[in-house]
Structure 1
């Protein structure tokens, strides 16, 4: 069966799953080709599908789902690259041996990290464990799935939901 943007707009989870299966890999390689970073590519794809589902009511029934997905991915990719550039620029200034201008910089970074860990502790135990394995320890979804005897899809869902919950909590 072929699903349309209208199906997703109406909250059809089967349509969303089908679109996810059809476009996950295509979006990943599209992004990877542009950013040359597996991490940024995977993050872009995950955020693309999260954004599409969260804003499904705004999907246009006249425009193909493919066009809309790639447009969302492009926007997210640009945002992530911009953030990475700013972070790298700031870190580059400090890694060249220059003194930090303000001790508040250290304090702000520590406070932000403490906030992340605080909200991380509020995730369900399984979701927190899966998120830590994936994001903090660098395990692949397949490795996590095998270690915890769950499917890679379940791992992916836990990570997507954890990222979404953390993002909402931090904003």
Structure 2
């Protein structure tokens, strides 16, 4: 957070330090998702350029790594979309690595990870009821019988769990 303040104040030394600290991590993050050295290199560089250009609007309440990895993810998706469009208009085959399905897979995997983290952070009973219902397909009656609670209580736990997930997803989309 101190680093963000310094970067917002045009401190090139702090920016260089952040670059040294996170360059390899960003590269690895992108490489893991795309399996392309070209994309990983390009996205890494574009991320740090964007980070510097947008330094005035960085959030001083969030850690550097949170903002940097968020930017890297968005830059990666933007680049993949741009490449997919370019290949489409140049008449390249649909078997190129830059396809909409790759973008969808990356977005879905990230979204599933976020949802799984949210589920793990739920109160214990809410999480157990939600997992039994949604992951194992048990009915409200079966869950109620299993935990000696009413089906209405099961319904409330599931409703609260869904509301929690929706609220978090909504906050991410903003």
- In the superposition, the TM-score normalised over structure 2's length comes to 0.50
Match of 2:6 in 1: 7
Match of 1:47 in 2: 46
Residues 27, 70 of structure 1: 8 Å contact kept: yes
C-alpha distance 78-19 of structure 1, shift in aligned 2 (>3 A):
same
C-alpha distance 89-6 of structure 1, shift in aligned 2 (>3 A):
same
Count, aligned residues: 94
Q: Give, in angstroms, the shift of residue 91 of structure 1.
A: 3.0
Match of 2:18 in 1: 19
- What do you get for the CA RMSD once the two structures are aligned? 2.0
Distance 2:86 2:60 in 1: 38
Distance 1:93 1:71 in 2: 30
* CA shift digits 1:59-115 (9 cap, x unpaired): 1110000000001111110000001111222334689xxxxxxxxxxxxxxxxxxxx
- In the superposition, the TM-score normalised over structure 1's length comes to 0.51
Which runs of 5 or more residues in structure 2 are unaligned? 95-174
Which runs of 5 or more residues in structure 1 are unaligned? 96-171
Distance 1:18 1:94 in 2: 42
SS of 2:75 mapped into structure 1: helix
- Is structure 2 residue 64 aligned with structure 1 residue 65? yes
Match of 2:76 in 1: 77
Q: Give, in angstroms, the shift of residue 54 of structure 1.
A: 1.0
Distance 2:59 2:41 in 1: 25
Distance 1:61 1:44 in 2: 24
Match of 1:37 in 2: 36
Q: Give, in angstroms, the shift of residue 31 of structure 1.
A: 0.3
